[in-house]
Amino acid sequence: MELKVSKKATMATTKKKNSKKEKPENTKEIPKNTEEKKNTKKEGKDNKNLQKNKKEKKIRSSLQKIKLRDVEEEEKAPKNSKEYTEGGDSEHTSGDEVHVNAGGVSSNGTIVARAGSDANTSANDDEDNSYHSAEESDSSEDEVAPRNTVGEVPLEFYRDEEHIGYDVTGKKIKKKERKDQLERFLSSVDDKKSWRRFVDEYNDEEVELTKDEIKMIRRIMKGKTPHAEADPYAPYVDWFDWEGKGHPLSNAPEPKRRFIPSKSEAKKISKYVRAIREGRITFDKPKEKPRFYLLWGDDSSSSEKTRGLSYIPPPKAKLPGHEEAYNPSLEFIPTQEEINSYQLMYEEDRPKFIPTRYTSLRSVPAYDNFLRERFARCLDLYLCPRVRKKRLNIDPESLKTKLPEPKDLKPYPTTCYIEYKGHTDAVVTISTESSGQWIASGSTDGTVRVWEVATGRCVRVWEVGSDIRHVAWNPLPHQPILAVSVDQDVLILDTGLGSEEQQGKIRDLLRMEKPTAESGEAAIVSWLPDDKLGGLRLKHFKSVTSIEWHRRGDYLSAVIPAGESRAIMIHQLSKKGSQRIPFKLHGLPVSTAFHPSRSIFFISTKKNVRVYDLLKEKLIKRLDTNLREVSCIAVHPGGDNMIVGTREGKLCWFDMDLSSTPYKVLKAHSKDITNVAFHRSYPLFASCSEDGKAYVFHGMVYSDLNKNPLIVPLRILQEQKGKGVLDCKFHPRQPWLFTAGSDSVIKLYCH
Amino acid sequence: MDMETDESVKRVQVRFVTQLDQKFKVPPSTIALPSDLTRLGLSSVVNNLLKAVVSDWEPEPFDFLIDGELVRMSLEEFLVAKGISAEKVLEIEYIKAIVPRQHEDPFLHDDWVSAIDGSNPGFVFTGCYDGVGRIWKGAETCTHMLQGHSDALTSLCIINGKGSEDGNNISVATASKDRTLRLWQFDAEGAMKHPATVTASKVLRGHSAAVECVSSQKSGNMVCSGSWDSTINLWKASLSEADGDLASIKKRKTSGAVNESQSEGEAVSTLVGHTNCVSSVIWPLDETIYSASWDHSIRIWDAETGSATWTMFCGKVLNCIDVGGESSALVSAGGSDGTLRIWDPRRPGTLAPVYQFSSHTNWISACKWHKKSWFHLVSSSYDGKVMLWDLRTAWPLSVIDSHSDKVLCVDWWKGDSVVSGGADSKMCIASGISVK
């Protein structure tokens, strides 16, 4: 029974949602031995309380008594259920008394206490009912069964029903009859305890809170511990025994992970190894430290300084030299005369420092220019440019045009092998015979000579008088005759180098019975036989500077620069006649040329070159050099290209199909170009100048019209210094060049 | 001999051998020589060794061969250059060094000496720019003057015929710039009053330009000539009156109003193929003609068919050609640069020269193989030098510097002398060239 009562009490407390602390306390009370212990403890506490109460004043004493009695009741309750219920009643009274106390009644304390003590006998009807029902339910089921029979079903479902939930057998549990509002009010008016009652709808019962439950609620509402005896500030009892304990906090053995290799680390390492192998991770090579510090090195060249702001090195101060030593060698010491001469110099030319000798370093005085020099240095630093110069880093080689190597363009004349010596004065002009066996030359010593090319032997000499301007071999191989322009005459000379029948023909050709004196041109040209030299003499009215054979060897053009409208004459050998060219001349003619294969005639004046068609007698083209003065022209054997040498040392290559302006202008010589020449069969051309040099070029003309001519300078043939080269001619069959110089020697350059 | 060489100089174990006469033989023992010895040092060593055997030994210069190559530097350099081990005993063969002895007085001509022939040991035959051929008997006096050409002689040859063998009748051929060749016949011994004037027995006309070269067939029946008209003409060399009578004309000589009758000959055949002046022809075998030309080519012609069997372009103008050397098959030619080149036409597929000798500094005007030796040849150049060459070394064996101007022609004479003529109008003889 005791147990049951206690359980009932606990049930009630839980339903009132009190703190759970009470529950374990109650359950602990069940085993007997613990119960005894607790009792003794509580008694101790009670004693304390009692002692406290004694000290309190009279007003408070009643309250204390109530409390004291409450505790006592609690202690008694588990022992006797009847007492408990009685106590419950008494509580009501005491509760009232409390209220009364609030109203200021203190004398009732004793009554309450008495009522409490008499609670055993007194009984109430209401209480009995509840008591019985509880008892029944308890008897029917031994163990704790939920009183709630509806579970979590909302109570509204049962609002209009007669019953609430079902019991084990499935019978409806009937709702208790409720008092209506009026009855309730009336009963509450009668009953003082009614304020402590409320309806537990789930369990369908009226619950009346006990006094100490109310107290507990009140304490909770005040924020105190629900049980008054619980001391939140109990002194700390250190249960741990500190001495004599040798063990660490954790005595666990060393974990396995501490001594086996880590798998995650192994994974990471293998990942790095793979990355290194695949080259995703590269290691910087350790920087090589320069072995020596470049004391005088240029600061700007160091690569480390390029990072960040660019470092502009300060201008270097002049390094001290030997003369600035305190005891320099004697050769540094200026003599007194030199020192005196310094005084005559301008301030800025004067040496800044005059070396002097001292016997020891000790005797060197303070440097008197120190401040001035320091100031100048500061000025230097201050005024030095703070802008870095941007230098274009272009390889100069890459700017050059790609030209084939000269050694790939062999053969071309390179070395002088044979010298033709015999003239006593400057050789003005040379001409090669078409077979290449002979060469003719004219010199200012008044002779015309014919040389054997292979041996350098002079074969024939003619004394023709001074001022030989031009010699020209007849281009026909079977007509070895030579045209020489001497002052105002043109001589046609028989060289006698042909075979007998050729000589016979030549003699016939050059035979003239009587001098021609045609009416119109009589004043200009007259043909005379020259018995002394064995040829013809064509007298002109002015001096002839240049002659040129037509390719068929019959016509001969002569340039008479002072001749104005009759400045260019064309002579015909077979008819012994002369005629003017049917074109109007513009400017002073310099040189003429026949086209190598067509009837086209080139006349160069000082400014430009005009190309005429001889058959149609009209101007075809005008080539402008845009240079100062043309001195010589040469026509490529193909006939479409032409080189023009000028008096300012420039060489113009004209591609006549391309344009009337030069295709290329070569600045080769430093002085006047005296002559230019094309080779007849090899892709070579040459120029010679008064600066004593002859240039050999590779001049390839392609038959493909889309391809421009290729011009490559090959070789500079250096003559003696100060001696101009007055003429150059190519050997007609070999890649050899003849040059005639003012040193009276003709030279042959062979490949 | 200085044997006190310090220890730092490397020494080479050497044994001297020779193929010379017994009196030149040294004891065949091995001696250690310092490796910086040159030809001169080796020569003095050998002379000292010989002196040890024969007390009154006259020192003589020697030349030394190692593995068939003449030593032209110090032994050490030679061994390094040839990759010969200095550990083994080196076998050095010695031969007599060639020291040409130059005759003091040159033989003066009236003009440039342009052609020379020394194939007859009795006399030297020179051609001159004055158009006269001269016979220098025994290299002493001019015995005959071959007058008739109106222009400079360019080339000449002694025709090896029956006449020259059996007696004193010697026939020669000359080529001239007057576009003719002439055949001459004279008695070399006969004329005692000197110089005897000889007139041409036959005039060969047919070239349209200057004839540059002439060469006779080995048997002496035919003569070939090359000319500036770029042809090679073959002529009959016989002087029989049978064909000479046909074209007997009266010829007016420029030198004087001498009327003389001359037989004229015409070319048997013409070899056409060269495109420029044929500067040199050689007819060493009866059926093969070698020619060099200014068109940079060397051609070998079959004389029977008249066709070129071998053509080789060398890129330079060629002035001279000769055939000789090993089994008379090597072709040497020189031209418009100072390099004497030697080809082997038997070598298939390649046209590169076998040997190149480039000590001359100017055009090479003539080159001649020694008639007996396979190794020796002589060349003359416009730089005024005559050089003796041995195929076994790239340096000239000897340089004969007796001319003061261009040397235009050179030939061997009597097997141990070199005769040369030049633009200084001199004919020089250098003798004492012992070629074995």
Q: Are residues B420 and B274 part of one domain?
A: yes
Determine the distance in angstroms separating the CA of B400 from the nearest CA of chain A, rounded to an integer: 20
Rg, Å, chain A Cα set: 72
Contacting residues for A632 by C-beta, under 8 A, at least 6 apart: A590, A591, A604, A644, A645, A673, A674, A675, A676
Task: Give the separation between CA A3 and CA A19, rounded to whole angstroms.
Answer: 21
Q: How much is the pLDDT for A101?
A: 38
Together in a domain, B82 and B105: no
- How many separate domains does chain B show? 2
Token pair for residue A419? 């010298």
User: Average pLDDT, whole number, for chain B?
Assistant: 81
Using one digit for the tens of pLDDT, what is the confidence trace for A328-358? 998 889 888 988 898 888 888 888 888 889 9
Q: What are phi and psi of A344, to 5 degrees?
A: -80, -15
CATH topology of domain A406-750: Methylamine Dehydrogenase; Chain H (2.130.10)
Residue B349 or residue B109, greater confidence? B109
Q: Are strands B141-147 and B196-199 parallel, antiparallel or unpaired?
A: parallel
Residue B35 and residue B172 in one domain = no
Q: Structure pTM?
A: 0.64
Element (DSSP H or E) covering residue A302: none
Give the pLDDT confidence of A366-399 residue by residue, as tens digits.
888 889 889 988 998 888 777 777 777 888 888 8
How much of chain A exceeds pLDDT 70, in percent?
Answer: 75
ipTM > 0.90, yes or no: no
Chain-chain contact of B179 with A499 (C-beta, under 8 angstroms) = yes
Do the chains contact at B408 and A411, CB–CB below 8 Å?
no
Using the predicted structure, report yes or no on whether residue A60 has a pLDDT greater than 70: no
Lowest mean pLDDT among A140-144, A554-558, A674-678, B70-74: A140-144
- A704, amino acid identity: D
The Cα–Cα gap between B16 and B30 comes to 8
A412 chain-B contacts, CB cut-off 8 A: none
User: Is B241 contained in some domain?
Assistant: yes
Residue A35 has pLDDT above 80, yes or no: no
Contacts of B316 in chain A (CB under 8 A): 751
The answer as to whether B420 is a domain residue is yes
Residue B436 lies in a domain: no
* Domain of residue B19, CATH code: 3.10.20.90
A417–B382: do the CB atoms touch at under 8 Å?
A: yes
Q: Which chain A residues touch B230 with a CB distance below 8 Å?
A: none
Q: Which residue of A has its CA nearest to B338?
A: A417
CA distance A632 to A595: 15
B84-132 pLDDT, tens digit per residue, is: 887 788 888 888 887 777 776 778 888 899 999 888 888 888 888 888 8
Q: Are residues B50 and B117 in the same domain?
A: no
Q: What is the pLDDT of residue B324?
A: 87
How buried is residue B394: exposed, middle or buried, by Cβ count under 10 Å (0-12/13-18/19+)? middle
Residue B274 sits in a domain whose CATH number is: 2.130.10.10
Nearest of A343, A353, A288 to residue A319 by alpha carbon: A353
Residues B78 and B151 occupy one common structural domain: no
Mean pLDDT within A434-443:
89
User: Residue A527: its pLDDT value, please?
Assistant: 81
Q: Is residue B132 part of a domain?
A: yes
Q: Where do the structural domains in chain A lie, given as residue ranges?
A: 2-153+209-222, 406-750
Residues facing B310 on adjacent strands: B300
| CA angle (A27 as vertex; A23, A31 as ends), nearest 5 | 160
Q: How confident is the model at residue A202 (pLDDT cuts 50, 70, 90)?
A: confident
pLDDT, tens only, B141-176: 788 888 888 888 899 888 876 544 545 678 888 998
What residue type is A61 in one-letter code? S
The residue range of the domain holding B45 is: 11-96
Chain A positions touching B295 (Cβ under 8 A) are 733
Residue A113 scores a pLDDT above 50: no
Question: What's the pLDDT at A18?
Answer: 42
- B316:A437 CB<8 A: no
Domain boundary among B80, B96, B112: B96
CB contact under 8 A, B209 and A437: yes
Q: Check CB contact under 8 Å for B362 and A418.
A: yes
Tokens of A44: 């101790």
Nearest CA distance, A578 vs chain B (angstrom): 33
What pLDDT, on the 0 to 100 scale, is given for residue A375?
A: 93
Q: How far is CA A30 from the centre of its chain?
A: 90
- Please indicate whether, in this complex, the C-beta atoms of A417 and B363 are within 8 angstroms of each other: yes
Closest to A37 measured CA to CA, from A29, A27, A46, A47: A29
Examine the domain organization and report whether B193 and B177 are in the same domain. Answer: yes
What is the spatial distance between Cα B257 and Cα B198, in angstroms, rounded to a whole number? 16
- For residue B436, what pLDDT is reported? 61
* pLDDT tops 70 at residue A363: yes
Among candidate residues B70, B96, B122, the one where a domain is terminated = B96
pLDDT over threshold 70, residue A45:
no
Query: For residue A99, is pLDDT > 60?
Result: no
Whether residues B77 and B114 share a domain: the answer is: no
Q: Which residues contact B58 (CB under 8 A, 6 or more apart)?
A: none
Structural domain ending residue among the three candidates B96, B113, B129: B96
User: Percentage of chain B surpassing pLDDT 90?
Assistant: 9
**pLDDT on residue A730:** 92
Which residues make Cβ contacts (< 8 Å) with residue A452, sequence separation at least 6?
A437, A438, A458, A459
pLDDT score at A32: 44
**pLDDT for the residue numbered A105:** 37
pLDDT of residue A653 exceeding 80: yes
Mean pLDDT of B190-214: 80
pLDDT on residue B194: 64
Q: Mutate one of A415, A418, A434, A455 to test the B interface: name it (highest B CB count within 10 A).
A: A455
| Lowest-pLDDT range of A166-175, A697-706, B39-48, B191-200 | B191-200
Supply the DSSP symbol for A709: P
**B362 touching A, CB under 8 A?**
yes
The nearest CA of chain B is from the CA of A499 a distance in Å of 6
Shared domain for B55 and B119, answered yes or no, is no
Structural domain includes residue B5: no
Average pLDDT over chain A reads 76
* DSSP reduced 3-state for A26: helix
Question: Stretch A171-192: mean pLDDT, rounded?
Answer: 80
Are B422 and B430 within 8 A, CB to CB? no
The distance of Cα B2 from the centroid of its chain, to the nearest Å, equals 41
Tell me whether residue B339 is in a domain. yes
Amino acid A304: pLDDT: 53
Q: Are residues B184 and B160 in the same domain?
A: yes
Which pLDDT belongs to residue B193? 63
| Distance (Å) from the alpha carbon of A416 to chain B's nearest alpha carbon | 9
In a shared domain, residues B92 and B122 = no
Q: How far is it, in rounded angstroms, from Cα A61 to Cα A66?
A: 9
B112 and B34 housed in the same domain: no
Q: Are residues B322 and B337 in the same domain?
A: yes
Residue A504 is predicted with a pLDDT of 85
Specify the amino acid at residue B191: A
A contacts of B209 (beta carbons < 8 Å): 435, 437, 499
